[in-house]
Structure 1
Amino acid sequence: MSSPILNLDEVQLRGLDASDGPSPDVPPGYDVRWGEIASRIGARKLGYNLTVVAPGKRNCPFHSHRSEEEMFFVLEGRGELRMGEDRYPLRQGDLVACPPGGPETAHQIINTGDTELRYLAVSTMAEVEVCEYPDSGKFGAFAGGEARFRHIGRATDARDYWEGE
């Protein structure tokens, strides 16, 4: 078994570094860097990662979870939490709760400072999850395990249950 202890200075970041320039997969305004922690310390029901965001950027689209709950702990930097229709300033030492729900719990962290924003992200790990993206009108349906499923679409493309049967 691996050690149940990991120091943050041992977490290796992956993803797109802002210095890599634009990516065809990641739109401007985003900085997608994180370091996976949970599996390295033996976690089973919670996911943990270190997230790093460059000044003026955000890590992910504004979204809500129907199953998973998230918690963020700001380690360094300043930012802004966008949650539902509200915005809140963030600074080192702040804790943020993002419970499951609909548009009222949609959230996004934006780095509004002039240095990197670093935060610890902790979440429950639901086997099946639905995320909604209010800004774009999309949803994502995800299922893990051996038969992985991932679909991102729009509710306007709904079909009748019996269509094509």
Structure 2
Amino acid sequence: MGPDLLHGGTLMILRAGSVAAEHVAGSAPRIEERFGDAAGMTGMGVNVVTLAPGERSAQKHWHSHSDEFVLVLEGTATVIEDECATEIGPGDMAIWPAGVTVAHQVVNQGETPLRYLCAGTNPPAETVRYPDEGETLFLVHPDWHVIGDDGTIRRSGRE
């Protein structure tokens, strides 16, 4: 079942199951349903993420220009912020405003799959810091590169 276009195409309804789940490598492997992409959104990403037991959302990171939030739908998430771990469940949220230098990630330490809504702004230029890896991602759409703390380019590419 695909999206429903109402009012002459100005409102899009995405029904459950209308967006295919895909494996995403990113900074950690996970399954995402990319609702924002399916709706043609460019200024904001909206995904439902599924983490199997033992998986994490990403390497610990923080964003210079992108707001980000997580809303747990099913299961229990362990939210790691710097060195602090907090469990949150269905209906609970974690919110990280742009520029707040709290390195964070979501981990599924439970025995069942974890599903959560993750949304964030998609600015045209962004810096993402990965303190545990000693590297920083610099993104100016569509180009990106990752620089290590020693100043070397570790990876680069184009979206």
The aligned residue for residue 63 of structure 2 is 65
Unpaired stretches in structure 2, ≥5 consecutive residues: 1-8, 153-159
Which of the numbers 79, 82, 88 marks the counterpart of 2:80? Answer: 82
Tell whether 2:114 aligns with 1:117.
yes
Report if the CA contact (8 A) 2:57-2:107 is conserved.
yes
Unpaired stretches in structure 1, ≥5 consecutive residues: 17-24, 159-165
- Write the distance in 1 (CA, Å) between the matches of 2:98 and 2:41: 21
- Write the distance in 2 (CA, Å) between the matches of 1:41 and 1:105: 30
- Write the distance in 2 (CA, Å) between the matches of 1:140 and 1:5: 34
Distance 1:2 1:39, change over 3 A: farther
- Write the distance in 2 (CA, Å) between the matches of 1:93 and 1:127: 30
- Write the distance in 2 (CA, Å) between the matches of 1:40 and 1:11: 7
**Secondary structure of the corresponding residue to residue 129 of structure 2:** strand
C-alpha offsets along residues 41-87 of structure 1, whole Å, 9 cap, x if unaligned? Answer: 34342210111100011121111101101011100011200112321
**Deviation of the 1:120 alpha carbon:** 0.6
- Write the distance in 1 (CA, Å) between the matches of 2:103 and 2:26: 20
**Deviation of the 1:35 alpha carbon:** 1.3
Which of the numbers 142, 157, 162 marks the counterpart of 2:151? Answer: 157
**Deviation of the 1:4 alpha carbon:** 1.5
**Secondary structure of the corresponding residue to residue 157 of structure 1:** coil
Distance 1:15 1:151, change over 3 A: same
Size of the aligned set, in residue pairs, is: 144
Report if the CA contact (8 A) 2:72-2:89 is conserved.
yes
Tell whether 2:7 aligns with 1:10.
no
Which of the numbers 49, 52, 61 marks the counterpart of 2:50? Answer: 52
Structure 1 vs Structure 2 CA RMSD: 2.1
**Secondary structure of the corresponding residue to residue 9 of structure 1:** coil
C-alpha offsets along residues 114-156 of structure 1, whole Å, 9 cap, x if unaligned? Answer: 1110011110111000101011111000111xxx211012132
